[in-house]
Structure 1
Amino acid sequence: MNTYQARILAIDDEPDNLLLIRQALRKLGFAHCVAMSDPVQAVACFHAEDFDMVLLDYNMPVMSGLAVLSMISPKAHREQIPIVMVTAQGDRDTRLLTLNAGAKDFLAKPIDTAELMVRVHNLLETRGLHLALRRQNQQLEDKVAQRTEELHSTRLEIIRRLARAAEFRDSDTGVHVQRMSLYAQAIGRRLGLAECELDLLLNACPMHDLGKIGISDTILLKPGKLTPEEFAVMQQHTLIGASILQGHDAELLRAAHDIALYHHERWNGAGYPHGLAGEAIPLPARIATVADVFDALTMKRPYKQPWSTEDARREIARLSGTHFDPAVVAAFEAVIEEILAIHAAHPDL
């Protein structure tokens, strides 16, 4: 910083002392000095405006220098604003007391111009270094935050493309993963999930059928009903997807792993691959299950025609308590208008 452009606040109950300080500072090239004789007003001014240094008289009758110091030192410490105590008392106890209260230096009375010059310059240069270091640290933090955001965005884009690749295996488009993810987010919001959890749900749900990459087309695209043997192979897509996603500490991939592995589990324990029941099934998977089934019912598949949204809605309600968590179904019903709006806004291509 340009030390001669610094704003200095001088506080002294004696106007003559303030005049001497201002004159001395001006002779030394410091043009921006605010001189105040009322310590109460000076404290308010210090907190309302920006200063680079404070020259504070120790002995004042209405409010002592130590009292003023206690009121301004928190901000001064936080913003690296040096406070110089101006005093005729040079004993050790006074110096220790003042330093412990937050003062950075002392200036003896009567004020020596040469000493004033050296102390003011040194302290302002130190403040300038602190401010430069703070700016540099902030720039580094901004760069790290930007890079982190770039990495996060890149990871999300890779995940979305991978999810769409899996969806293209058994659908004409990848719109299904978009719709069911938005359904899941709407249901989760109704259930009271935090924003960070809703973001995870939105970005993890597209990977629910990632394991279909490992299922042959003869089974995946079969127009008729699967045989028991073929259905057993189809069930493996949950394990395949979980295997692809496991082994990473990222919250998103952990959530995606659970959804891929458990989205075919059933509330009554009749699902696969592990036959989990009730709340043993992770909540994100319970939410994804309802969203996935509703959208799958309303889509055209190689083995079926699309259901109407009303028929699909009734089917979800019918399976509440057996296939689906009743609380999730209740949340689905509560946001059905939002669900239908999402369905209409993202038609199959």
Structure 2
Amino acid sequence: MEKRAKKKVLIAEDDESVRGLLVNALGGEYDLMEAVDGLDALEQMRMFEFRPDLALVDIKMPRMDGFELMEKLLRIIPALPIIFITGSGDIEYIGKAFRQGAVDYLLKPFEIQELFIRIAKAIEYRPLDLDRQFLENELAERTREFHAAQLEIIQKWAETVEYRDGYTGLHIANIAHYSAMLAKAYGLEERECYFMLQAAPLHDVGKVAIPDSVLQKPGPLDANEWELMKSHTLIGYNLLKSERLKILEVASRIAISHHERWDGRGYPYGLYKEDIPVEGRIVAITDVFDALTSKRPYKDAWRFEDAANFIIKGGGTQFDPKTIEAFVGIIPEIIKKSTIH
């Protein structure tokens, strides 16, 4: 029969008589490490690679007291059960100990039987909750890291497209912020506005498949080239469509619909009015507005007022009238916060 490994217990107690009592009582049942204060405990843990399953910690110790030791222990082992040992005159510290993460306490003097009961309870039962919380925290942290990595990839992808298209990073930033602002003014929920902020910069991602000879042609496109250019909407949709990632789902709708027109004369499908996804209607406005107000090698930047008037005149034909109403409301904010001016 395989011998079960002993649980490891850290004892941090500066009173030699109490420490000796604990060692004598627990030595046969547990693998012990004894320390005279907090610094000694941490140094020995590091030196001997000792990872305790439970810590018995006195509150009052020289160099590093029990509260500071507990804080450092929980940084190293977030699920570690800690039992505080305190004298009868230290009752006021018990509440503070529990708030810092202690699972139990012992009042000096204590009975050996009580000691074993408290330790067994802490090791066998409470760690289940602590481990679960630790795993939940780890999962949340890994989820945040994964989400941040996704956003960085999306950002780099958008930058790649804009670089090929001859734009600058300002266009990506402007489209993102204008679209989120307009989505909020339109009445979309906060979560949807966040998705617009992250997804809108990918509106032209399909241009990665358009040849440079077409994408960067200095003169007008012929009929065949124009059809090829228009295909970036379908290509972008196919690149981005996803049933698992909400940001990509939103981005795919934007990619395929931001060149549709309210009057049905847009592309690729000639969608009419509300058949156009609202995300596409929003980016249709912000994309044109930023293109007009940005300086390009072949044109000067329009004044904000002139670009806004152009957008407003397109209401009911190129653009959704309701979205334009919302756009008019955010023009002062756009002018104030613009990364261009």
Any gaps of 5 or more consecutive residues in structure 1? 6-28, 34-48, 53-79, 82-115
Task: Determine if contact 1:181/1:203 at 8 Å carries over to the other structure.
Answer: yes
Using the aligned pairs only, state the percent identity: 38
Larger-Rg structure: 1
Q: Specify the code of the residue in structure 2 equivalent to 1:290.
A: I
Work out whether 1:135 is the aligned partner of 2:123: no
Work out whether 1:183 is the aligned partner of 2:178: yes
CA–CA distance in structure 2, aligned partners of residues 224 and 51 of structure 1:
74
Task: Determine if contact 1:224/1:303 at 8 Å carries over to the other structure.
Answer: no
Aligned residue for 1:306, secondary structure, equals: coil
Change (3 A) 1:305 1:228: farther
CA–CA distance in structure 2, aligned partners of residues 212 and 188 of structure 1:
25
Work out whether 1:270 is the aligned partner of 2:265: yes
Deviations for 1:201-225, whole angstroms, at most 9, x for unmatched residues? 0000110011111112222222333
The 5-angstrom pairing of residues 133-282 of structure 1 reads 133-282=128-277
Q: Specify the code of the residue in structure 2 equivalent to 1:283.
A: V
Task: Determine if contact 1:225/1:303 at 8 Å carries over to the other structure.
Answer: no
CA–CA distance in structure 2, aligned partners of residues 291 and 258 of structure 1:
15
Task: Determine if contact 1:187/1:332 at 8 Å carries over to the other structure.
Answer: yes
Any gaps of 5 or more consecutive residues in structure 2? 1-53, 59-84, 90-94, 105-110
The Cα shift of 1:271 comes to 0.8
The Cα shift of 1:299 comes to 2.1
The match for 1:321 is 316
The Cα shift of 1:306 comes to 2.6
Task: Determine if contact 1:182/1:342 at 8 Å carries over to the other structure.
Answer: no
Work out whether 1:312 is the aligned partner of 2:301: no
Aligned residue for 1:335, secondary structure, equals: helix
Task: Determine if contact 1:179/1:342 at 8 Å carries over to the other structure.
Answer: no
CA–CA distance in structure 2, aligned partners of residues 259 and 283 of structure 1:
9
The Cα shift of 1:181 comes to 1.0
CA–CA distance in structure 2, aligned partners of residues 172 and 257 of structure 1:
21
Deviations for 1:10-51, whole angstroms, at most 9, x for unmatched residues? xxxxxxxxxxxxxxxxxxx99769xxxxxxxxxxxxxxx799
Give TM-score, length-normalised by structure 2.
0.65
Give TM-score, length-normalised by structure 1.
0.64
The match for 1:340 is 335
CA–CA distance in structure 1, aligned partners of residues 265 and 298 of structure 2:
23
Aligned residue for 2:134, secondary structure, equals: helix
Coordinate RMSD, CA, aligned: 3.3
Deviations for 1:139-183, whole angstroms, at most 9, x for unmatched residues? 211111111111111111111111111011222422111101100
The higher relative CO (CA closer than 8 Å, separation ≥ 6) is in: 1
Aligned residues: 255
Between 1:252-261 and 1:276-285, the stretch displaced more is 276-285
Aligned residue for 1:243, secondary structure, equals: helix
